[in-house]
Amino acid sequence: MFEQLVRKVKNHTALFRVDSRDERPFKAQFVGEQSYDAGGPFRDALENICTEITEKMLKPTANMETHPDMMGYQPQLLNTMKDYKHFLIFGKMIGWAIMSQRDSLSLCMNHIFWKHLLNIPLDIDDLYQIDSTRHDFLKYQMVPGVFPETFVADLGSGEDVELCDGGSEREVTEQNRDEYVRLFI
């Protein structure tokens, strides 16, 4: 369903604009089902779209298995222009949901996502919400030779990514750990 929405948004760029709280960006009709979209089919479609977004565009935080009280997803890395366009539409959906105040998106995003969205500064304690092990290490231990050694991290793609230019050559120290955390989160 998300791909159908992507195609529709491509042709109607103002689809998620909100002029009143009663507006919905699209009408939902399920093929083979007779229904009048007075809200039910729309909410079902929105639920399906959110499930697809969670499965294809988000990744669980490192804490999801060990700290169920800190559940939340975070966006995956953008690898293609298609990924970028999908996240653009995802952003429009979030904006629409906030502005309409009528229908919500059933997405479980971690609080760092929302802090980024609101331009609220992050610090090392925010890292605890997504990776408590890395947080504890950086905040309390900083033992030389123990992870992380350089400005490189696996951000969910399965491969190491340099967090800055020359990150694979730059050691993490007590003096630059805040920068490492800022780049990591």
176 and 95 both lie in a single domain: no
User: Last residue of some domain: 113, 140, 161?
Assistant: 113
User: Last residue of some domain: 79, 113, 147?
Assistant: 113
Print the domain residue range for 10.
2-29+37-113
User: Last residue of some domain: 89, 113, 137?
Assistant: 113
108 and 139 both lie in a single domain: no
| Alpha-carbon distance values, 142 to 15, 32, 127, 154 (Å) | 49, 60, 15, 19
Residue 179 belongs to domain with CATH number: 3.30.2160
Cβ-contact 185, 122 below 8 angstroms? yes
pLDDT less than 50: residues of the chain: none
Model's pTM, two decimal places? 0.64
Cβ-contact 102, 22 below 8 angstroms? yes
The pLDDT, as a whole number, for residue 77 is: 73
The pLDDT, as a whole number, for residue 21 is: 52
Cβ neighbours, 10 Å, residue 68: 8
103 and 138 both lie in a single domain: no
41 vs 29: CA distance, rounded Å: 7
